[in-house]
């Protein structure tokens, strides 16, 4: 029987390139098509990542007090969010935080610092942390996320042993001025290109739920495809109280699944991470999202709390997946299967916009881990 999304998966497995019309069909699929969308995206996920889930662990090296004005960010200029604020962690503190995530199964540690971009001294500081980390845990990948890079900084990080560099495009070029006025979309693209040019694995993703239109979201997803990022984190807006996007609840769990599926269809063999905000926006559909995404952050985020790391590891095991790098992680691609019948994709489903949604809960601020004396959630 005709199944639009199953056929689309087959086309992508044959090396097809997702068109705008197909992308919009995914985003506008109806609720009764949702499982067909997920099962088709799951075929792509299985073909490229088998039964593995990559576990990443965030260490916030420097929190808050940023001079930039990104509207979605709790660390922005003028933010009244009651987040932890601290300057650079000492190397031994950073090492201790990273080790906790590694013990819990993380194969990548992401070292993040607030700010527009690092000074050369900041880069040296992070480089020496990374050298220590690599001596202690040579098998672990290190990703740095320090903002906009200046000439030579990506090379310095690479020579210190950094494997990857994260700098998110976040949204489309046409939407960028609405979410930030202190730097430009082109600055972000340039930094990803710099990182790539220095031999760092480019990681660049999105924040969804900021009021972007379907077309703007498709633009952003296609821009990430054009950048050829090796990994794409998809963050779901956490509308911190005290930021301009406070009270912005534009996502439903089903729509979050459609967005993840869109990224999977556009970039089938790219690591796709369900990132910040997954708990509050995907809610009970998180295990279904794991059939599309092959990567997540364990434990807490930069300035907010995630669900218990133990619950994440249980979700991975309960869903039949294994943590990448752990015993039993399959290298082979999973068998393809037919996703079954689907109705046509011609009826767009409106994204639910309900800021009175009882599930719209305040973001819980992180009060443990980096920058505190309390053990992190990992
Ligand atoms: S996203 Fe980065 S640059 Fe923007 S306000 Fe937050 S910490 Fe600063």
**Cα separation, 112 vs 91, whole angstroms:** 13
Task: Reply yes or no on whether the pLDDT at 138 is more than 60.
Answer: yes
Q: Which of 64, 74, 75 to mutate to test the pocket of ligand 1 (most atoms within 8 A of CB)?
A: 75
Whether residue 269 is contained in a domain is answered as: yes
Q: Determine which residue's CA is closest to atom 5 belonging to ligand 1.
A: 76
**Cα separation, 280 vs 372, whole angstroms:** 24
**Cβ-contact 374, 368 below 8 angstroms:** yes
- The Å distance, Cα 171 to ligand 1 centre, comes to 14
Whether residue 67 is contained in a domain is answered as: yes
**Cα separation, 125 vs 91, whole angstroms:** 8
Whether residue 350 is contained in a domain is answered as: no
pLDDT digits (tens, 9 = 90+) for 33-47: 999 999 999 999 999
- Coil/strand/helix, residue 297: strand
Query: What's the whole-number mean pLDDT along residues 266-271?
Result: 98
- The Å distance, Cα 55 to ligand 1 centre, comes to 24
pLDDT of 360: 60
Q: Which residues contact 138 (CB under 8 A, 6 or more apart)?
A: none
Task: For residue 279, give its domain range.
Answer: 21-323
In ligand 1, the atom with minimum distance to the C-alpha of 115 is: 8
- Residue 203 is assigned to a ligand binding site: yes
pLDDT of 2: 61
Contacts 24+ apart (CB under 8 A), 321-327: 321/51, 321/52, 321/53, 321/290, 322/51, 322/52, 322/53, 323/52, 323/53, 323/54, 323/55, 323/105, 323/107, 324/52, 324/53, 324/54, 324/55, 324/107, 325/105, 325/107, 325/139, 326/105
pLDDT of 329: 55
Whether residue 362 is contained in a domain is answered as: no
Q: Tell me which DSSP letter residue 89 carries.
A: P
Ligand 1 shell residues, CB under 6 Å: 66, 68, 70, 73, 75-76, 114, 116, 147
Query: What's the whole-number mean pLDDT along residues 295-309?
Result: 94
pLDDT digits (tens, 9 = 90+) for 58-73: 999 999 999 999 999 9
Task: Reply yes or no on whether the pLDDT at 297 is more than 80.
Answer: yes
- The Å distance, Cα 146 to ligand 1 centre, comes to 10
pLDDT of 326: 81
**Cβ-contact 205, 165 below 8 angstroms:** no
Q: Which of 58, 66, 86, 88 to mutate to test the pocket of ligand 1 (most atoms within 8 A of CB)?
A: 66
pLDDT of 357: 53
Out of 2-16, 231-245, 309-323, 337-351, least confident range: 337-351
Whether residue 10 is contained in a domain is answered as: no
Whether residue 169 is contained in a domain is answered as: yes
pLDDT of 176: 96
Query: What's the whole-number mean pLDDT along residues 188-203?
Result: 97
Q: Whole-model pTM?
A: 0.91
Closest to 305 measured CA to CA, from 243, 376, 205, 202: 376
pLDDT digits (tens, 9 = 90+) for 158-189: 999 999 999 999 999 999 999 999 999 999 99
pLDDT of 332: 36
- Residue 256 is assigned to a ligand binding site: no
pLDDT of 358: 44
Q: What is the CATH number of the domain that holds 182?
A: 3.20.20.70
pLDDT band, residue 328 (cuts 50/70/90): low
Query: What's the whole-number mean pLDDT along residues 16-31?
Result: 98
Task: Reply yes or no on whether the pLDDT at 290 is more than 90.
Answer: yes
Whether residue 376 is contained in a domain is answered as: no
Whether residue 155 is contained in a domain is answered as: yes
Closest to 295 measured CA to CA, from 245, 231, 202: 231
In ligand 1, the atom with minimum distance to the C-alpha of 75 is: 6
Tokens of 6: 């199953």
- Residue 273 is assigned to a ligand binding site: yes
Task: Reply yes or no on whether the pLDDT at 341 is more than 90.
Answer: no
CA distances from 61 to 89, 123, 227, 361, 374 (A): 5, 12, 27, 27, 16
Average pLDDT, the chain: 91
Q: Determine which residue's CA is closest to atom 4 belonging to ligand 1.
A: 70
DSSP 6-52: HHHHHHHHTT----HHHHHHHHT--GGGHHHHHHHHHHHHHHHHTTE
Total domains, the chain: 1
Q: Determine which residue's CA is closest to atom 7 belonging to ligand 1.
A: 114
């Amino acid at each position: 029987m005709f199944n639009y999304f199953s056929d689309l998966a087959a086309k992508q497995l044959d090396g097809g390139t997702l068109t705008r019309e197909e992308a919009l069909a995914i985003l506008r699929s109806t609720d009764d098509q949702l499982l067909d969308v997920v099962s088709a995206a799951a075929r792509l996920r299985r073909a490229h990542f088998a039964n593995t889930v990559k576990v990443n662990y965030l260490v916030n090296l420097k929190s808050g007090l940023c001079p930039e004005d990104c509207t979605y960010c709790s660390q922005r200029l003028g933010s009244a969010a009651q987040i932890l604020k601290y300057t650079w962690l000492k190397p031994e503190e950073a090492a201790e935080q990273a080790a906790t995530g590694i013990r819990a199964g993380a194969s990548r540690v992401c070292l993040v610092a607030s700010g527009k971009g690092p000074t050369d001294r900041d880069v040296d500081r992070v480089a020496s942390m990374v050298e220590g980390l690599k001596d202690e845990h040579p098998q672990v990948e290190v990703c740095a996320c320090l903002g906009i890079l200046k000439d030579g900084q990506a090379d310095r990080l690479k020579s210190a042993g950094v494997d990857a560099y994260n700098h998110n495009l976040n949204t489309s070029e046409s939407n960028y001025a609405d979410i930030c006025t202190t730097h430009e979309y082109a600055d972000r693209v340039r930094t990803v290109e710099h990182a790539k040019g220095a031999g760092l694995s480019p990681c660049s993703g999105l924040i969804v739920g900021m009021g972007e239109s379907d077309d703007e979201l498709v633009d952003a997803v296609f821009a990430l495809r054009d950048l050829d990022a090796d990994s794409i984190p998809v963050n779901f807006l956490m509308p911190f109280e005290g930021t301009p996007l406070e009270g912005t609840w534009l996502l439903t769990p089903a729509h979050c699944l459609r967005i993840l599926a869109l990224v999977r269809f556009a970039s089938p063999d790219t690591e796709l991470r369900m990132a910040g905000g997954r708990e509050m926006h995907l809610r009970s559909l998180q295990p279904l999202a794991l059939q599309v995404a092959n990567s997540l952050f364990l434990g807490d985020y930069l300035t907010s709390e995630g669900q218990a790391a133990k619950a994440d590891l249980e979700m991975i095991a309960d869903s039949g997946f294994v943590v990448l790098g752990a015993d039993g992680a399959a290298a082979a691609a999973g068998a393809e299967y037919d996703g079954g019948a689907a109705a046509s994709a011609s009826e767009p489903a409106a994204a639910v916009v309900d800021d009175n949604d009882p599930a719209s809960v305040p973001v819980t601020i992180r009060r443990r881990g980096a920058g505190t004396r309390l053990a992190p959630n990992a």
